[in-house]
Chain A
Amino acid sequence: MKKLLQSLFILLFVASSAMAQERTITGTVTGKGDGLPLPGVSVKIKGTSSGTTTGADGKFTIRVASSASTIEFSSIGYVSQSIAIGGRNSISVSLVSDAQSLTDVVVVGYGTASKKDVIGSVAKVTGESLQNIPAPSFDRALAGKATGVQVITPSGLLGQAPQVRIRGINSITSGASPLYVVDGIPVISGDVGGFTSVNALADINSNDIESIEILKDGAATAIYGSRAANGVVLITTKRGKSGTQFNYDGWTAIANISSRFDLLNADEFVTIANERFTNAGQTPQAKPTPDGSGGFVDTDWQDAVFQQSVQQSHSVSASGGTDKTKYFMSLGFTDQKGAIVSNSLRKYSFRANLDQKITNFLTFGITSGVTYQKNLGPLAGSNNLSGNIFAATRMLPNVPIYSTTDITGYNISADRRSLGPGANLSPISDNIPNIRFVLDNNVRQSQTIRLIGSTYLEAKIMDGLKFKTQLGIDGSYIEDFVYTDPRHGDGFSSNGSMSQAYSPFFRWNWQNILSYTKSINGEHNIDVTLVSELQKQRSSFFQANVSNLLNIYFNQNITSGTFITPTISGGLTLNGIESYLGRLNYNYKNKYYITGSIRRDALSSLPMGNRVGYFPGVGIQYRINQEEFFKNAEGLSFISDLRLKASFAEVGNTDIGSFPYFGTYGAALYGNQGGIGFNNTGNPLLKWESQKKYDVGLDVGVLSNRVNLSVSYWKQDTKDLILAAPTAPVLGVPGNSISRNVGSMTNKGWEFSVNADVLPAGKVKWNTTLNFSVQSNKVTGLVDGNDIVGDYNLTRVGESIRTLYGYQYAGVNAANGNPLYVKADGSLVQGRISNTTYYKYDPANPNYFFNAAQPVSATNPDNRSSLTANDKVILGNSLPKWFGGFNNTVTYGDFDLNVFLRFQGGNYIMNRTRQDLLSNNFVNNSVEVLGRWQSVENPGDGQMPRLWAARGAFINLDNNAVSRFVEKGDFLRMDNLALGYSLPSSILSKGSIRKVRVYASAQNLFVITGYKGLDPETNTSGAGVDFNGNPQLRTFTFGLNLGF
């Protein structure tokens, strides 16, 4: 297109040259900041329509009539300049970056706004800061980037979706994740995999992201009404700009897990295992297994489940534009092999964004992204016999992984149910399979095709009045597959099985946006937006399961005639939302601002009487530095920006399930006849969870905004939380409960951020950003005030949600090795391991136990006691109280250095993995077990009780939180350290290359923490519980950025 235009111009010049006295002017346009040539700058002769644009090298040639006096240079993102020609034949210009116009545009709901006019609390993360990082999805890279936004990646599994929480956890039973909107289309997020984790947001190529805006407070989110309670994340992809650009961004990374378990070696295992049997009065069962070459087998089973892996990513993009047509196109390829065996992610993504001016009042555009993702992963369940961590940490270290005598080549027991016992007299407990066999032979896979796209037509009706209609789709087609091998492991009892599921999801969204902007005398600035939005979605699945496989060769897809027993299942859900909304922004002389919005949402998933809701939001802003008195005050001139903001909104959370209000009948088979059965009790009064958001903030900019400070205080009161109110079972109500809007909670916090150009110019430049958030959560209402008690957590009125709750440990009774616990009344009991009974503990007489065979007497007092659920106490808050990020970018000449630290703390973690690693079954342990009590003379570390075969659950109170295993979760992580080198422009300008940068970086280089588990961010079952989670990765990356 550009070529065409250029030729047209040339033709035009040729045609006109005969008519007037002309001459040729040449020159170069560069950027003022970096001195690099600027391509695509419009060069125009003032007062005429003739002109040209600069080439990739910034050079231009233009023929001008003798009458021409001035040339205008303009480009998006730069301040336009007019230069008088005079008598010159050569003109070179440096354009000043219009930082205000470029970086200070903020995407808000259903539109954009200039940063100075944004009243709501909106955190902006540039796409640039998410790139060049080998994260499997962009959402992981948001961690630590903005205040109030907590991103926890629970493990190093590549497909795992991080938990993103904006301003706390605002629901007990419903969704707590924000609403994600990609280029105006609300999209699905979260884990969408059936048998292995698949992050739906990994479908977006991070290299395609222009910016991410995180809407936090009422003024910013109210426009999203019933879906705004958990905050909103707006993702904007790149669009074409004037001037042709071609970019290549690629990296290769080497990943390893960042820490390993400290497990017993073969000798230690034999000692510990046999001590357990001996203490229990049983024959020792553990024996060293000869390795065939004179020594004994000593296997580190972690080598069987963790590996060093190589990952790579390549992304190419081309963009360009004229004043009529703008395009951005990209292709991305990522191939990541996991540092966790059998985990991998392969991704192809394609994007084409186009904007076309049709007439002077109509613009048409397309946004389209297509991604294919293939995820493979191990079974990672905390408590699955073939869960990779569960099994790997239990595998006996004195037996080998492989065996030449077994038909499979793996070390498998004779009955094929468990790991081969080697020289041990007993097989491993619980029939745990050889984990390496499982990882090598079972397949858990998910393939996704995702389409996110939209088209729009925008019409300028008159000055300031625009109408835009946009039709978007989000389609996700997921095929899940699992195969379990019949020879060993999970597939053994069913003689092999396969399940294959197809889960299509399709959503369409139609928005019509009418906007009007008007400034009266520059004093009264008005901005009105009216929107109608309609959304419908259909999600369904069907799944085929087969077992009794006839041939292990057919393990990639269910294949006809290769199995005996098939079963099929499926389901369908439809949903619709109809909304109307309006927003009014007004400011007087850019000084006093007020914004108000209201949204009306109607949801199909709610009962007729309650499905319509109105969600209002208001915000005010006072820019004090715009006041005359402030401008005139000499002493205050160092303050370049000063404003106070406040906002309030009432929003909702509709992530409450599909039809929670309906009394429904589900399918119920009887023999071979299809029937239906009452399976959900309706509550015709059910409505969404509703929330009031309050926010006040202060923004300060000093020294021409070289340093920006921001402080805000927020509070969110959520009520009508949906909880299952129990009913008496005799009523036969399915699930014995009715969903009711009965709960409430409050989240509140402070957010601080500082951004400073410590060294803004010169050879050394240094920019630093620190963000810090403090949060707290308090449950204020539950069903009849009753606690919700889980295995490790408790939700109680007056406490933070899912607080850790369990028994208080008081160490080991040095006289006999029994564990001591604190009862609710403060007294101590000892758990007598030999008969699994609790007795009152008397330090003066630590070895006294009531003899039940004798009558109670003065010499035989009954000191039996108990340890029950009533003795459980709160052991610590599971939610972090503070977190943040500290980012530093230093450039020295052509070198750039990024140091990004992330920190979090104030929370406690139940290290369930540690408890699990002290099992008293015939399985391996962590080295912590070596501190066990052996005798009065050799009492160990005082924390680890006496060993006793198969009594682990009594000794360690497995499946309960115990203070002994509850640890602080504070940490400081070196999230990213990157060093880059860019070839100087003096070299580049010789070729037509714009940019060459090479870099090396390290992610998760180290973590400083007191936490004894693998990583303080590991989070498995429920809040604050680390139960056999997979480790995090440490990655070294080498990359290249190339620009033409």
Chain B
Amino acid sequence: MKLKYYIISSALVLSFSSCKKELEKLPQQDIAEEVAFNSPSTALGALRGVYSTAQTFDFYGSLPQVIGDYMGNNVDFVGTFPTLQELNNFSTVSTNVNVATMWQVHYQVITRANNVIAKINIVDGLSAGEKAQYAAEAKFLRALAYFQLANFFAQPFQVSSGSNLAVPLVLEPFDGTVKYPSRSTLNQVHAQVIQDLNEAIPALPQSYTDAAETRGRATKGAAYALLSRLYLYREEWAKAESAARSTLAQGIYDTAPNYAFYSGNTSEDVFTIQNSAIDNGRTGSGGWASYYNPAALGGRGDAPFSEDLINAYTSEAGDKRYDLKISGTAADGLPHLFTSKFPDAVNNSDNSPVIRTTEVYLNLAEALAHQSTTPSVEAVTILNDRIRSRAGLLPKTVTTQQALIDALLIERRKELAFEGHSRMDLLRNRQALRTGNAAAAFGGTKTILPIPQREIDNNPGLQGQQNSGY
């Protein structure tokens, strides 16, 4: 009988002794917030997570850039998505789903960047230099996000010198308290972008050991280049010139000898979002290659060349940039021309071009041209030796400041077509997005996007702040 009680009492003791360990489970699928910033490797992971969000379809995964080209005059949108057609027809409504998602994803990039900026200093094991660099990279991406948001959701600087409303500025990570920020003015948003970039530049490296990182992560050159674009948009020519020169002074950028550089991570690239077959911004409904390729090549055939762009290329015979095309049947069932800049419609591994050396030279040339009442010699040299000769065109002789500016804008358009610049390059030059369409005129209410209705509904701070016309 003794034995019986031994067995029973030991079983009892065993069973009622608490097994605390079993409850201390952390998610294995994901990393708990408190763990994310407690080691150098997870902190670097969190930073890469911001880049990863930047790859998203609705950020730099093609949608905003494709919209930037078809709301401009480079692309004819012939696809079937009603929400994208609305944008094409300048008849968007505030419930447009694509607009809502774009807005939301931009703020996701911002929130993820805010997390890194605010929390990087608590990470043990990172050197002060690494902490500063990670924060600087996050600030670069935050600047990119606010700049692109302001371009889409606010009238350009040229409409009212930047005193108009742009987007809410959220600069702190979400701590659980729901806040309702209101829209800041375009000048305030631009000032924040400038501040982020200027704060980032000292801590950013000039380059990384790996070419894919030198072209795919934030660098001093990339930050200066983005500044030059912003100053150009703000018509602060001297600052644009100086920023562009600072990029080129890094010594690792040069215009490529020909047009085989796409997705190449060469000296032509200043900042390029790195995509791969298993990791890219494609969604079920679109992506760079998906929009820009005909069905025969595996694309949707939604975004062929516009008639206007074809005319621009064919106005001078022999433009090699016009060779970057394929013909095929578009989504409207008709034959069209498509760009060959994004050829991989099967795996969607094409990189997303954000800033190219050519653009920096064009920024520099345009800034120079605006600062000199006679044609700037340096700008003409860029125009002819850097841009036109590569395109197989004869040097152009310009006699007036305006002629130089016009020539540069034409080259800019032909050079950067399908990379998302068309709409803003037209608007900042006070031009209509389309000819013969009153809604597309400079300053037209539907040339910019509505604040998403969902945002207005959930954010009392935005009551009465909808863009006019929506």
A interface residues, Cβ below 8 angstroms from B = 361-362, 457, 459, 461, 467, 469, 493, 510, 512, 514, 532, 534, 536, 565, 567, 571-576, 578, 580, 602-605, 611, 658-659, 662-684, 726-734, 736, 738
- Which residues from chain B contact A467 at a C-beta distance below 8 Å? 8, 11-12
A-B CB contact pairs (8 Å), 18 listed: A512-B11, A512-B15, A512-B16, A536-B22, A578-B22, A658-B29, A659-B32, A663-B33, A665-B45, A671-B274, A673-B48, A675-B48, A676-B36, A683-B176, A728-B178, A729-B100, A730-B170, A734-B108
Q: Is the CB of B27 within 8 A of A659?
A: yes
State in angstroms the CA–CA spacing of A467 and B6 once bound together.
13
Is there a chain A Cβ closer than 8 Å to B112's Cβ? yes
* Complex: chain B residue closest to A538, CB-CB: B28
Is there a chain A Cβ closer than 8 Å to B275's Cβ? yes
What's the nearest-Cβ distance from chain B to residue A782, in Å? 15
What's the nearest-Cβ distance from chain B to residue A146, in Å? 34
Other-chain residue from B42, B44, B174 in contact with A681 (beta carbon distance below 8 A) = B174
What's the nearest-Cβ distance from chain A to residue B269, in Å? 13
What's the nearest-Cβ distance from chain A to residue B428, in Å? 25
Q: Is the CB of B111 within 8 A of A678?
A: yes
- Which residues from chain B contact A680 at a C-beta distance below 8 Å? 30
Other-chain residue from A667, A669, A678, A736 in contact with B115 (beta carbon distance below 8 A) = A678
A676-B49, A733-B111 known; A665-B31 Cβ under 8 A: yes
What's the nearest-Cβ distance from chain B to residue A677, in Å? 3
Q: Is the CB of A730 within 8 A of B459?
A: yes
Other-chain residue from A514, A664, A669, A730 in contact with B455 (beta carbon distance below 8 A) = A730
Q: Is the CB of A729 within 8 A of B452?
A: yes
Q: Is the CB of A573 within 8 A of B27?
A: yes
Is there a chain A Cβ closer than 8 Å to B2's Cβ? no
State in angstroms the CA–CA spacing of A567 and B112 once bound together.
27
Q: Is the CB of B29 within 8 A of A675?
A: no
Other-chain residue from B27, B52, B212 in contact with A677 (beta carbon distance below 8 A) = B52
- Which residues from chain A contact B111 at a C-beta distance below 8 Å? 678, 731-733
Q: Is the CB of B110 within 8 A of A732?
A: yes
* Complex: chain A residue closest to B100, CB-CB: A729
State in angstroms the CA–CA spacing of A572 and B25 once bound together.
12
A469, A565, A605, A668, most chain B CB atoms within 10 A:
A668
- Which residues from chain B contact A681 at a C-beta distance below 8 Å? 174, 176
Q: Is the CB of B455 within 8 A of A575?
A: no
Q: Is the CB of B298 within 8 A of A493?
A: yes
State in angstroms the CA–CA spacing of A858 and B9 once bound together.
98
Other-chain residue from A571, A611, A672, A733 in contact with B174 (beta carbon distance below 8 A) = A733
Q: What are the 10 tightest A-B residue pairs by CB atom distance, in nearest-first order?
A: A675-B48, A732-B111, A677-B49, A671-B274, A512-B15, A664-B30, A663-B33, A668-B52, A728-B459, A604-B25
* Complex: chain B residue closest to A604, CB-CB: B25
Is there a chain A Cβ closer than 8 Å to B159's Cβ? no
User: What 0/1 pattern do residues 51 to 85 of B give for CB contact below 8 A with A?
Assistant: 11101000000000000000000000000000000
Q: Is the CB of A574 within 8 A of B11?
A: no
Other-chain residue from A664, A671, A677 in contact with B276 (beta carbon distance below 8 A) = A671
- Which residues from chain A contact B325 at a C-beta distance below 8 Å? none
- Which residues from chain B contact A662 at a C-beta distance below 8 Å? 26-27, 30, 32-33
- Which residues from chain A contact B51 at a C-beta distance below 8 Å? 670, 675
What's the nearest-Cβ distance from chain B to residue A670, in Å? 4
What's the nearest-Cβ distance from chain B to residue A684, in Å? 8
Is there a chain A Cβ closer than 8 Å to B279's Cβ? yes
Q: Is the CB of A732 within 8 A of B107?
A: yes
Q: Is the CB of A730 within 8 A of B45?
A: no
Q: Is the CB of B49 within 8 A of A668?
A: yes
- Which residues from chain B contact A730 at a C-beta distance below 8 Å? 103, 107, 167-168, 170, 181, 455, 459
- Which residues from chain B contact A669 at a C-beta distance below 8 Å? 48, 52, 276, 278-279
Q: Is the CB of A671 within 8 A of B18?
A: no
User: What 0/1 pattern do residues 179 to 193 of B give for CB contact below 8 A with A?
Assistant: 111000000000000
Is there a chain A Cβ closer than 8 Å to B206's Cβ? no
State in angstroms the CA–CA spacing of A733 and B36 once bound together.
16
State in angstroms the CA–CA spacing of A493 and B299 once bound together.
11
Interface residues of B in 111-147 (CB under 8 A from A): 111-112, 114-115
* Complex: chain B residue closest to A511, CB-CB: B15
What's the nearest-Cβ distance from chain A to residue B6, in Å? 11
State in angstroms the CA–CA spacing of A662 and B459 once bound together.
24
* Complex: chain B residue closest to A605, CB-CB: B25
Other-chain residue from A565, A665, A671, A732 in contact with B170 (beta carbon distance below 8 A) = A732
Is there a chain A Cβ closer than 8 Å to B87's Cβ? no
State in angstroms the CA–CA spacing of A843 and B174 once bound together.
57
Is there a chain A Cβ closer than 8 Å to B104's Cβ? yes
- Which residues from chain B contact A571 at a C-beta distance below 8 Å? 28-29
- Which residues from chain A contact B112 at a C-beta distance below 8 Å? 677-678, 732
Q: Is the CB of A576 within 8 A of B52?
A: no
State in angstroms the CA–CA spacing of A580 and B19 once bound together.
12
State in angstroms the CA–CA spacing of A222 and B7 once bound together.
31
Q: Is the CB of B52 within 8 A of A514?
A: no
State in angstroms the CA–CA spacing of A457 and B7 once bound together.
10
Q: Is the CB of B46 within 8 A of A675?
A: yes
What's the nearest-Cβ distance from chain A to residue B108, in Å? 5
A675-B51, A731-B170 known; A572-B29 Cβ under 8 A: yes
State in angstroms the CA–CA spacing of A170 and B349 once bound together.
46
Other-chain residue from B4, B27, B180 in contact with A361 (beta carbon distance below 8 A) = B4
* Complex: chain A residue closest to B456, CB-CB: A728
In addition to A578-B19, A732-B174, 9 A-B residue pairs with Cβ atoms within 8 Å of each other are A467-B12, A512-B15, A580-B16, A662-B30, A670-B55, A670-B216, A671-B279, A674-B45, A732-B107
- Which residues from chain B contact A567 at a C-beta distance below 8 Å? 278
- Which residues from chain A contact B27 at a C-beta distance below 8 Å? 573, 658-659, 662, 664
Q: Is the CB of B4 within 8 A of A459?
A: yes
Q: Is the CB of B45 within 8 A of A675?
A: yes
- Which residues from chain B contact A671 at a C-beta distance below 8 Å? 212, 216, 274-276, 279
Other-chain residue from A604, A666, A670, A731 in contact with B29 (beta carbon distance below 8 A) = A666
- Which residues from chain A contact B28 at a C-beta distance below 8 Å? 571-574
What's the nearest-Cβ distance from chain B to residue A194, in Å? 17
State in angstroms the CA–CA spacing of A876 and B111 once bound together.
42
Other-chain residue from B22, B49, B174 in contact with A675 (beta carbon distance below 8 A) = B49
A663-B33, A669-B278, A732-B110 known; A574-B25 Cβ under 8 A: yes
- Which residues from chain B contact A574 at a C-beta distance below 8 Å? 25, 28
Q: Is the CB of B30 within 8 A of A668?
A: no
Q: Is the CB of B18 within 8 A of A578?
A: yes
Q: Is the CB of A604 within 8 A of B23?
A: yes
Q: Is the CB of B107 within 8 A of A459?
A: no
Interface residues of B in 287-302 (CB under 8 A from A): 298
- Which residues from chain A contact B167 at a C-beta distance below 8 Å? 730
Is there a chain A Cβ closer than 8 Å to B47's Cβ? yes
- Which residues from chain B contact A682 at a C-beta distance below 8 Å? 33, 176
What's the nearest-Cβ distance from chain B to residue A982, in Å? 48
Q: Is the CB of B107 within 8 A of A676?
A: no
Q: Is the CB of A611 within 8 A of B23?
A: yes
What's the nearest-Cβ distance from chain B to residue A603, in Å? 8
* Complex: chain B residue closest to A669, CB-CB: B279
- Which residues from chain B contact A668 at a C-beta distance below 8 Å? 45, 48-49, 52-53
What's the nearest-Cβ distance from chain B to residue A922, in Å? 15
Q: Is the CB of A665 within 8 A of B33?
A: yes
- Which residues from chain A contact B55 at a C-beta distance below 8 Å? 670
Q: Is the CB of A670 within 8 A of B174?
A: no
Interface residues of B in 150-170 (CB under 8 A from A): 167-168, 170
A670-B51, A731-B170 known; A664-B104 Cβ under 8 A: no
Q: Is the CB of B8 within 8 A of A729?
A: no
Q: Is the CB of A604 within 8 A of B15?
A: no
- Which residues from chain B contact A361 at a C-beta distance below 8 Å? 4
A665-B30, A729-B458 known; A676-B48 Cβ under 8 A: yes
Q: Is the CB of A670 within 8 A of B104?
A: no
Is there a chain A Cβ closer than 8 Å to B430's Cβ? no
What's the nearest-Cβ distance from chain A to residue B120, in Å? 14
Is there a chain A Cβ closer than 8 Å to B410's Cβ? no
- Which residues from chain B contact A514 at a C-beta distance below 8 Å? 12
State in angstroms the CA–CA spacing of A667 and B31 once bound together.
8
